[in-house]
Amino acid sequence: MDLKKMTQIARHMVDLRDKKAQLTAVFNAEVAKIDELYDKLVQMALAENGTDSGVHNIATEAGTLMFDEKTRANVVDWPAFYAFIVKNGRFDFLHRRVTDAAVSEYVRDNPDNPDETPPDGVSLFTVRTVTVRRAGGKA
């Protein structure tokens, strides 16, 4: 084994790791700025097209804005919710978080739940989203 060569390899590896960390930090900071601006534009689009407008798509010269609503489930009391899962054998509700579709289906389709309430320990809320498709069919 050539210790001099191994030292050079180690030095280059450390230098590359440091350079990668530096570039990643700069990149992440720039992406955070872009994400913040994008989120503000989403909020502006949602505010401009209120929930009661009934408009789901707006075609513009720059692209088509598509509005959608999704029901989300959020566990507010894990012990109560897990007890519900065990009691009812509904482990399909779990996937490192509540499975929105399974909880929504339970609320909607369960004959033992006529008032359509979520399981114990879970709150349901709806999130409006907006996406944009670039004009000309390019993503």
Q: What is the mean pLDDT of residues 26-53?
A: 92
pLDDT tens profile 73-97: 999 999 999 999 999 999 999 877 8
Instruction: Let me know whether 78 and 109 are in one domain.
Output: yes
Instruction: Let me know whether 44 and 58 are in one domain.
Output: no
Instruction: Let me know whether 108 and 41 are in one domain.
Output: no
Instruction: Let me know whether 40 and 63 are in one domain.
Output: no
Instruction: Let me know whether 65 and 130 are in one domain.
Output: yes
Instruction: Let me know whether 130 and 100 are in one domain.
Output: yes
Instruction: Let me know whether 62 and 90 are in one domain.
Output: yes
Number of domains in the chain: 2
Instruction: Let me know whether 1 and 24 are in one domain.
Output: yes
Instruction: Let me know whether 36 and 59 are in one domain.
Output: no
Full domain range(s) for residue 98: 54-137
Question: Is a pLDDT exceeding 60 seen at residue 138?
Answer: no
Q: What is the mean pLDDT of residues 121-126?
A: 90
The overall pTM is greater than 0.75: no
Secondary structure of the chain in HEC code, one letter for each residue: CCHHHHHHHHHHHHHHHHHHHHHHHHHHHHHHHHHHHHHHHHHHHHHHCCHHHCCCEEECCCEEEEEEEEEEEEECCHHHHHHHHHHHCCHHHECCCECHHHHHHHHHHCCCCCCCCCCCCEEEEEEEEEEEEEHHHCC
